């Protein structure tokens, strides 16, 4: 059975979290080993604690969006929702630690005692959960790639880079919002962007940001143009949405459609902002991609790509590019050649 890119990513994250938490817990167990006890045994106990505590927490973080109870809890006031999460995580910390200790003590032929080692394990486990949860929430808020770049300071100094951009804009979003109301429309957007995210994972794209009903995806120019995955991405997104069509119709009475435009070129990437920091892309490339969205609406075409990108990219065998009249873009001296992309009939 084929494993989805999202599932593969989740597995990589789970393995990474378990490896890091196990390594840190092993060091902790080694350092607090009681006199007369083999330090290596305490280190192994720390690894077991890390696995028992971290696994249910990470799985909850991955799957909470799919659970109706978790979605309802997410609508609670922030403090109430955080209180629930803290309570759940404390159950995981205490339950996992006690469970491992029971197995360990039974193996050693002694009864469970609440000693300083167990108390320190509770404190250490709680601290690890707090740090891990904060990292997850920051990663969800900023994007894990953006968080990594912010933490490593990659864009403290602005850098020139070649990027490919894909802009995806939901059709008739105003009509959907009027019919569904703001809360239901937000749920539609959330499901729509989830399918876009699945397509991004399939094509190794980074989601730069969401702007209203629009998603901006990006790739480094070299890898993206080598195999044409960037050109296939909007059609893969369409496939994901179609696969969930029945769910969309049941929940919202409509299957969302979108327009998409692709362009490539040089941008300047750098950290920007004071009270709120983010990595911003500045340059003509992103502006041209945005102008192409307006052109897509005028020409009634769903997917447009610039000749600049098409010439540098291998066109997938199941796609066909139809030349369109050149466009005059404000701020550009030369007209822009544009093609409409579609699947081979």
**Which residue would you say has higher pLDDT here, 126 or 189?**
189
Confidence at residue 262, expressed as pLDDT on a 0 to 100 scale: 94
The verdict on 85 and 189 lying in the same domain is no
Q: Considering Cα of 248, then 251, then 256, then 262, what sign does the dihedral take?
A: negative
Contact 315/305 with Cβ under 8 angstroms?
no
CATH at 303? 3.30.70.1230
Q: What is the pLDDT averaged over residues 198-226?
A: 85
E-state strands within 95-232: 159-170, 206-211, 214-220
The verdict on 129 and 231 lying in the same domain is no
Among 128-137, 201-210, 244-253, the least confident range: 128-137
136 is written with which tokens? Answer: 């997850």
- As a whole number of angstroms, the distance between CA 79 and CA 235 comes to 41
266 is written with which tokens? Answer: 């040089």
The pLDDT tens digits of the residues spanning 82-116 come to 777 778 888 888 888 888 888 877 776 666 666 66
The verdict on 250 and 120 lying in the same domain is no
The confidence band for 156, taking pLDDT boundaries of 50, 70 and 90, is confident
The confidence band for 72, taking pLDDT boundaries of 50, 70 and 90, is low
Confidence at residue 128, expressed as pLDDT on a 0 to 100 scale: 77
The verdict on 257 and 328 lying in the same domain is yes
124 is written with which tokens? Answer: 């250490």
The verdict on 171 and 281 lying in the same domain is yes
Q: Dihedral of the CA atoms 139, 142, 144, 150 (nearest 10)?
A: -110
Confidence at residue 39, expressed as pLDDT on a 0 to 100 scale: 77
**Which residue would you say has higher pLDDT here, 221 or 67?**
221
Chosen domain end from 142, 165, 200: 142
φ, ψ of residue 186 to 5 degrees: the values are -60, -40
Asked if the model's pLDDT at residue 169 lies above 90, the reply is yes
The pLDDT tens digits of the residues spanning 334-343 come to 788 899 999 9
Asked if the model's pLDDT at residue 1 lies above 50, the reply is no
Q: H or E segment at 287?
A: helix 284-299
Cβ neighbours of residue 293 closer than 8 Å, sequence gap 6 or more: 167, 169, 214, 259, 261
Q: H or E segment at 72?
A: helix 68-74
The domain total for the chain is 2
φ, ψ of residue 112 to 5 degrees: the values are -70, 135
Coil, helix or strand at residue 163: strand
Q: What is the Cα 138 distance to its own chain's centre?
A: 11
Q: Note down the domain range covering 293.
A: 145-343
The verdict on 225 and 208 lying in the same domain is yes
Q: How many CB atoms are located within 10 Å of the residue 303 CB?
A: 24
Pick the closest to residue 13 from 56, 70, 47, 59 (CA basis): 59
The verdict on 157 and 269 lying in the same domain is yes
Q: Which residue has the tokens 């992103």?
A: 286
The verdict on 153 and 287 lying in the same domain is yes
The verdict on 94 and 172 lying in the same domain is no
The verdict on 202 and 70 lying in the same domain is no
Q: How many CB atoms are located within 10 Å of the residue 2 CB?
A: 5
Confidence at residue 340, expressed as pLDDT on a 0 to 100 scale: 92
Coil, helix or strand at residue 203: coil
What is the chain's mean pLDDT, rounded? 82
Confidence at residue 175, expressed as pLDDT on a 0 to 100 scale: 93
- As a whole number of angstroms, the distance between CA 202 and CA 57 comes to 25
Helices (H), 181-280: 182-202, 221-227, 229-243, 245-252
Chosen domain end from 124, 142, 160: 142
The verdict on 192 and 180 lying in the same domain is yes
The verdict on 173 and 135 lying in the same domain is no
Contact 125/57 with Cβ under 8 angstroms?
no
DSSP 34: P
Chosen domain end from 91, 110, 142: 142
- As a whole number of angstroms, the distance between CA 165 and CA 262 comes to 6
């Amino acid at each position: 059975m084929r494993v989805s890119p999202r599932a593969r990513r989740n597995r990589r994250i789970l393995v990474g979290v378990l490896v890091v938490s196990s390594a840190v817990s092993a060091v902790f167990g080694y350092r607090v080993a009681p006199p007369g006890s083999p330090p290596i045994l305490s280190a192994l106990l720390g690894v077991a604690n890390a696995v028992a505590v971290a696994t249910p927490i990470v799985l909850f973080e991955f799957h909470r969006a799919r659970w109706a109870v978790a979605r309802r809890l997410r609508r609670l006031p922030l403090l109430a929702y955080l209180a629930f999460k803290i309570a759940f995580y404390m159950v995981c910390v205490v339950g996992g630690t006690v469970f491992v200790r029971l197995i360990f003590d039974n193996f050693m032929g002694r009864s469970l005692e609440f000693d300083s080692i167990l108390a320190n394990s509770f404190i250490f486990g709680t601290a690890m959960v707090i740090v891990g949860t904060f990292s997850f929430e920051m990663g969800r808020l900023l994007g894990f790639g953006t968080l990594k770049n912010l933490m490593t300071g990659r864009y403290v100094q602005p850098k020139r880079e070649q990027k490919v951009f894909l802009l995806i804009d939901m059709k008739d979003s105003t009509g959907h919002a009027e019919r569904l109301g703001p809360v239901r429309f937000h749920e539609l957007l959330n499901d729509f962007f989830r399918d876009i995210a699945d397509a991004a994972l399939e094509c190794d794209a980074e989601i730069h940001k969401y702007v209203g009903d629009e998603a901006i995806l990006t790739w480094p120019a070299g890898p993206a143009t080598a195999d044409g995955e960037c050109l296939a991405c909007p059609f893969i997104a369409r496939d994901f949405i179609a696969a969930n069509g029945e769910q969309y119709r049941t929940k919202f009475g409509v299957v969302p459609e979108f327009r998409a435009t692709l362009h490539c070129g040089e941008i300047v990437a750098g950290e920007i902002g004071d009270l709120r920091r983010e990595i911003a892309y500045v340059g003509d490339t992103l502006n041209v991609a945005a102008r192409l969205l307006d052109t897509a609406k005028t020409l009634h075409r769903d997917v447009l790509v610039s000749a600049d990108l098409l010439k540098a990219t291998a066109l997938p065998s199941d796609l066909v590019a139809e030349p369109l009249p050149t466009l005059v873009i404000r701020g550009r001296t030369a007209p822009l050649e544009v093609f409409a992309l579609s699947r081979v009939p």
